[in-house]
A and B are shown apart, each in its own frame.
Chain A
Amino acid sequence: MQHLVNVKVNGQSHTLVVNANMTLLDMLRKNLGLTGTKKGCELGDCGSCTVIIDGKTVNSCLVLAVEASGKEILTIEGLAEGNELHPLQKAFIDYGAIQCGYCTPGMILSAKALLDRNSSPSEEEIKTAIGGNLCRCTGYIYIIEAIREVAGKQKE
Chain B
Amino acid sequence: MTVEHSIIGKSYPKIDAPEKSTGRAEYTADLVFTGMLFGKMLLSPLPHARVLHIDTSRAERLAGVQAVITGRDVSSVLYGVSPARYDENVLALDKVRYVGDETAAVVAVDEETAVEAISLIKVDYQPLEAVFDPFQAMKEGAPQIHERAKNNINAEVHQEFGELEKAFRESDYVRQDRFVTQRAAHAPMEPHAVVACFDSSGKLTVWSSTQVPHYVHYQLSRVLGLPMGMIRVIKPYLGGGFGGKAETTCLEFCSAILSQKTGRPVQMIYDRKEMFLHGRGRHRQFIELKTGVKKDGQLKGLQVNVVMEGGAYTSFGIATIYYAGAMLSSPYRLPTMKFDGYLVYTNQPTCGAQRGHGTPQTRFAFESQLDMIAEELGIDPLEIRLLNAVGPNEMTINELKITSCEFSQCLKKVAEISDWKKKKGKLPPGRGIGLAGAWYLCGAAYPIYRSEMPHSNAMIKLGEDGTSATLYVGAADIGQGSDTVLAQIAAEELGLAYEDIRVLSADTELTPLDLGAYASRQTFMSGNAVRQAAADVKRQLLQLAAQKLEANVDDLLSRESKIFVKGAPDRFLPFAEVAEEAFFMKGPVVGKGSYKPPKLGGAFKGGAVGTSPAYSFVAQVAEVSVDVRTGQITVDRIYNVHDSGTVINPRAFHGQAHGSVHMGLGEAIYEEVVIENGVVVNPTLAEYRIPTANDMPEIQSEAVASYDPAGPFGAKEVGEGSILPVVGAIANAVYNACGVRIKKLPMTPEQVFMALKAK
With A38-B239, A93-B18 given, is the CB distance from A46 to B651 under 8 Å?
no
B658/A104 in contact, CB under 8 A: no
CB distance A136 to B690 under 8 Å?
A: yes
Q: How large is the interface on B (under 10, 10 to 19, 20 to 34, 35 or more residues)?
A: 35 or more
Inter-subunit contact B272/A102 (CB<8 Å):
no
With A and B bound together, what is the CA distance between A33 and B658 in angstroms? 33
Q: Which A residues touch B237, using CB under 8 A?
A: 100-101
Which of the 9-residue segments A1-9, A64-72, A137-145, A148-156 touches chain B? A137-145
* Contact assessment for B686 and A76 in the assembled complex, using a CB-CB cutoff below 8 Å: no
What's the dominant secondary structure at chain A's contact region?
loop
In chain A between 8 and 61, which residues have their CB closer than 8 angstroms to a CB of chain B?
Answer: 29, 33-43, 45-46, 48
A102–B190 contact, CB under 8 A? yes
User: Which residue of chain A has its CB nearest to the CB of B275?
Assistant: A41
Asked if B189 contacts A98 (CB within 8 A), the reply is no
| Residue in B186, B239, B242 whose CB lies within 8 Å of A101 | B239
Q: Name B31's closest neighbour in chain A (CB-CB).
A: A35
B21 lies within 8 A of chain A by Cβ: yes
CA distance A76 to B312 in the complex (A): 41
Q: B663 contacts A143, CB within 8 Å? A: no
Could you tell me how many residues of chain A have their Cβ less than 8 Å away from some Cβ of chain B? 55
Asked if B685 and A45 sit within 8 Å, CB to CB, the answer is yes
Stretch at the interface among B46-54, B503-511, B692-700: B692-700
Task: Say yes or no for B17: interface residue by CB 8 A criterion.
Answer: yes
A103 interface contact, C-beta 8 A: yes
- A38-B189, A95-B651 given as contacts; is B20 within 8 A of A139 (CB)? no
Residue of B23, B190, B686 touching A40 (CB-CB under 8 A): B190
Chain A residues, Cβ within 8 Å of B16: 101
A94-110 contact mask (Cβ, 8 Å, vs B): 1 or 0: 11101111111100100
Q: Given A41-B272, A100-B238, A127 and B693 touching (CB < 8 A)?
A: yes
Would you call B413 an interface residue if the criterion is a C-beta within 8 Å of the partner chain's C-beta atoms?
no
Q: Report the minimum CB–CB distance from A51 to chain B (whole Å).
A: 11
Tally of A-B Cβ pairs under 8 angstroms: 171
* A96/B655 in contact, CB under 8 A: yes
- Known A-B contacts A43-B272, A80-B22, A93-B17; the reply to A33 vs B479 at CB < 8 A is no
Is A141 within 8 A of B696, CB to CB?
yes
Contact among B188, B663, B692 with A100 in the assembled complex (CB-CB below 8 Å): B188
User: What residues on A are CB-neighbors of B238 within 8 Å?
Assistant: 100
Whether A99 touches B21, Cβ cut-off 8 Å, given contacts A33-B32, A137-B240, A142-B651, is: no
Is the CB–CB distance between A101 and B659 below 8 Å?
A: no
Set of chain A residues within 8 Å of B272, measured between Cβ atoms: 40-43, 45
Asked whether, in the complex, the Cβ of B189 is within 8 Å of the Cβ of A89, the reply is no
Q: Which of A98, A100, A140 contacts B190 (CB 8 A)?
A: A100
Is A79 an interface residue, CB under 8 A from the partner? yes
**CB neighbours of B239 from chain A (8 A):** 38, 100-102
Chain B residue at smallest Cβ distance from A78: B23
Report the bound CA distance from A39 to B192 in whole Å. Answer: 11
B20 surroundings in chain A (CB, below 8 A): 98, 101, 104
Query: How close is B543's CB to chain A, nearest CB, in angstroms?
Result: 38
Nearest Cβ in chain B — how far from A125, in angstroms? 11
Interface CB pairs A-B, < 8 A, 12: A36-B23, A41-B684, A48-B189, A76-B22, A93-B14, A99-B655, A99-B659, A102-B240, A134-B690, A136-B187, A136-B189, A137-B659
Binding site for B on A (CB under 8 A): 29, 33-43, 45-46, 48, 75-77, 79-80, 85, 89-90, 92-96, 98-105, 108, 126-128, 130-144
The 4 closest A-B pairs by CB, nearest first: A36-B23, A100-B479, A101-B20, A102-B239
